[in-house]
Amino acid sequence: MKNFVAIDFETANGSRSSVCSMGLIIVKDGTIADQHYTLIKPIPNYYSFWTTEIHGLTYRDTMHSPVFKDIWKDIHHKIKGLPLVAHNSPFDAGCLKAVHEAYGMQYAEYEFFCTLRAARKQLPGLPNYQLHTVAAHLGYDLTNHHNALADAKACAAIALQIL
């Protein structure tokens, strides 16, 4: 796979629609052609202790950020026609669909590929298949794990090697 978009969401709480940051890596002909990172005012707009513990984002970080609907209208044309890749794609696909529903937006049936599933098949024997573990095994140094852009870059690096 040489043309795709690696995508990663972080959420503010247990609701899949509560995306509070998004990272996108657009890969064309096997190289990064574009990248995008944004903080997003989540819906619903509150943060759970556990999600903040994971990614470090709080209400104050996103209180003046744009909402997903406004961000997506500037992004969707850049990714049109490209498959989406995520590590644990059911989570990110669920977030994308849920936030579309929350804003009453039409959801295009995006094609998703999963680097987690691919790693389980192609890299037997790893101690686990978390993003940072798979990335390290493939020689990618994932720093700033749980930053949506850093995670999307790691996912893109993995996808280029195993998809």
Q: What is the pLDDT of residues 70-112, one digit of tens each?
A: 999 999 999 999 999 999 999 999 999 999 999 999 999 899 9
Q: What is the DSSP string of 94-131?
A: HHHHHHHHHTTPPPP---EEEHHHHHHHHSTT-S---H
Q: Residues 8, 23: contact at Cβ < 8 Å?
A: yes
Per-domain residue ranges for the chain?
4-162
CATH pick for 4-162 out of 3.90.920.20, 3.30.420.10, 3.40.140.10, 3.50.50.60: 3.30.420.10
Which position has the token pair 């209400």? 59
Long-range contacts of 121-127 (CB under 8 A, 24+ apart): 122/162, 123/162
Q: What is the pLDDT of residues 47-62, one digit of tens each?
A: 999 999 999 999 999 9
Q: Is the dihedral of CA 105, 106, 112, 117 positive or negative?
A: positive
Average pLDDT for the chain: 97
**Nearest CA to 66 among 98, 23, 21, 29?**
21
Question: Is the torsion defined by CA of 65, 69, 74, 77 positive or negative?
Answer: positive
Amino acid at 57: L
pTM: 0.96
